Structure 1
């Protein structure tokens, strides 16, 4: 979601998926989890009653202690970008109902798996391109413009656009932003880190992925946080296979973060993904004893968020942007994976 300017030359990719093999089934009944028992991944309306450690306080001082870096401030938003009528849109775009987590896992037949591979590949290509735009002086809104155009040029819909009222086509989370940063007029600065979260809806299936990129000359501490966050995702994927307990994901991520004394954000989670943007299972990235096992041909995301300091999130007044309480840096990586007979296939890689 960034770029020097919107004038940057953009590749026009052609989707590798040929034909319209994927018929969208009727959507599951969407519901909000009981905040006292379940966790959230995208957005819920205030208040987060019953979720411990979730705060809505105002941001503190502009300057961070022992740092020259200033805290993030919201910029100006551009108008919502249009999507051509011929592009298939997910059901929630036309619905006024608040989105939630759909019951039931995303388990696919052979045709569905091919559809997931196509949407995952496109999401990965878009994310790779978005990362090349990251440089000092580009706005996150310019990244959104490029991402939006590339997605619709490939006949897909940018899944975040209109999801629960989200106003943009991609999430851009800079520095202390844990997740769901809204692209705006803020220019990236030398030394920033930025997570770009891309989801595409292609032929009725969502592909969801994100990565954290360096902007200019990033200090060693920030680089280490990003490296360890990526490693934690890789380690989690490596243990995935049919029949494996889902709680092993959180245990291995938390253990790796502990080695470097990083915090693991608990309030935002991975999720089933496929014909629906968010469904069961809920993937917790911290130690837990939740029940549930991985299923053959199931698709879900793993998306750990690690911080250098507090894991207590604060939400801005826009009801989306979530930052660390103390202004410490946060990094995130995400893949959509398919559980196979031999382990896990990463669908969101080029």
Structure 2
């Protein structure tokens, strides 16, 4: 069942989402060759707690850490470890936080040092597809409209859209209805209405859309060993239109990126 949020609840969810956004911004300055994902995980846990929230993933479904850290061919749900990041890697960092009884859930794929032009393009297209999908998240549209838009955009570039893993509703539980696939058909699925909040998160592979899972029971990776990218935002429907609750502003500031990609989805930019 889809749980509709009031304006007051949406603002509480914005606070939760911004804790995650600021955590990713802090980590952006720390992602570099030689740093382990376990070191980054410890920094994130401390940062989240210092900002009055609880790590949203730690212990959720018995997950052992604060962050899902998925480098290179890993798609999602990678477990932080002591292996140092290498020049040319990419690393998807998925982070959650619980504050005011609501969850924030937000992800960004970072470059580690200098990466190849092929990988840069994968990250660029995946990030662009996120906003292509968000544009379709408006009252009267349906789940399939978002999925179709993302799928159509990335498949034009020859990339694979992961089928088994999807975005989701968000609220007092990390995963609520509706499921939000990154593929689909226009006009199909549940209808969007005022007050819905979802996490939209394209997971896009350089090669095949097929996946495998490691024996740890968590880590999902591409079946062909090629790279995968993952970007995620928390979005509400406010006055019939998509309103971003999370932001890449803090990541962009840390990395020196100038971007106006979020402006179309903020009715009041001063809230960030």
Give the TM-score taking structure 1 as reference length: 0.69
Please name the residue that 1:259 is paired with: 156
Given the alignment, which residue of 169, 173, 176 partners 2:70?
Answer: 173
Q: What is residue 81 of structure 2 aligned with on the other side?
A: 184
Q: How does 1:140-289 map onto structure 2 within 5 Å?
A: 140-288=37-185
Return the alpha-carbon distance in structure 2 between the equivalents of residues 250 and 309 of structure 1: 19
- Output one character per residue of 1:320-343: Cα deviation in whole Å (capped at 9) or x when no partner: 001111100000100010011151
**Does the 8 Å CA contact 1:336/1:347 hold for their aligned counterparts?**
yes
Larger radius of gyration: 1
State how far apart, in whole Å, the 1-side matches of 2:76 and 2:126 are: 14
Q: Which residue of structure 2 lines up, in the alignment, with residue 332 of structure 1? A: 230
Please name the residue that 1:75 is paired with.
Answer: none
Alignment partner for residue 13 of structure 2, among 111, 116, 127?
116
Question: Deviations along 1:236-256, whole A, 9 cap, x unmatched?
Answer: 111221111110111111111
> Which has a greater percent of helix?
2
- Displacement over 2 Å in runs of 4+: 287-290
Instruction: Provide the secondary structure at the position in 2 that maps to 1:225.
Output: helix
Give the corresponding residue for 1:54: none
1:343 aligns with 2:253: no
Equivalent pair of 2:193/2:240 in contact (CA under 8 Å): no
The CA deviation at 1:110 is 2.6
Number of equivalences: 247
Secondary structure at the aligned position of 1:105 is classed as: coil
Alignment partner, residue 11 of structure 1? none
TM-score (norm 2): 0.89
Cα shift at 1:214: 0.4
Q: Matches of 2:123 and 2:173 in 1, distance apart?
A: 29
User: What's the CA shift for 1:291?
Assistant: 1.8
Distance in 2 of aligned mates of 1:316 and 1:322: 7
Counterpart position of 2:189: 291
Deviations for 1:58-116, whole angstroms, at most 9, x for unmatched residues?
Answer: xxxxxxxxxxxxxxxxxxxxxxxxxxxxxxxxxxxxxxxxxxxxxx2231113211211
TM-fit CA distance, 1:287:
2.2
Checking the alignment, whether the CA contact within 8 Å between 1:270 and 1:283 is kept in structure 2 is yes
- The Cα of 1:288 is off from its aligned counterpart by 3.7
Contact 1:106 1:275 in 2 (8 A): no
How big is the alpha-carbon RMSD for the aligned residues of Structure 1 and Structure 2?
1.1
1:308 equivalent in alignment to 2:195: no
Give the secondary-structure state (helix, strand or coil) at the position aligned to 2:179: strand
Q: Which runs of 5+ in 2 are unaligned?
A: 250-272
Name the CA distance, whole Å, in 2 between partners of 1:271 and 1:106.
Answer: 12
Please tell me whether the aligned partners of residues 229 and 305 of structure 1 are also in contact (alpha carbons under 8 angstroms).
yes
- How far 1:261 moved relative to its partner? 0.3
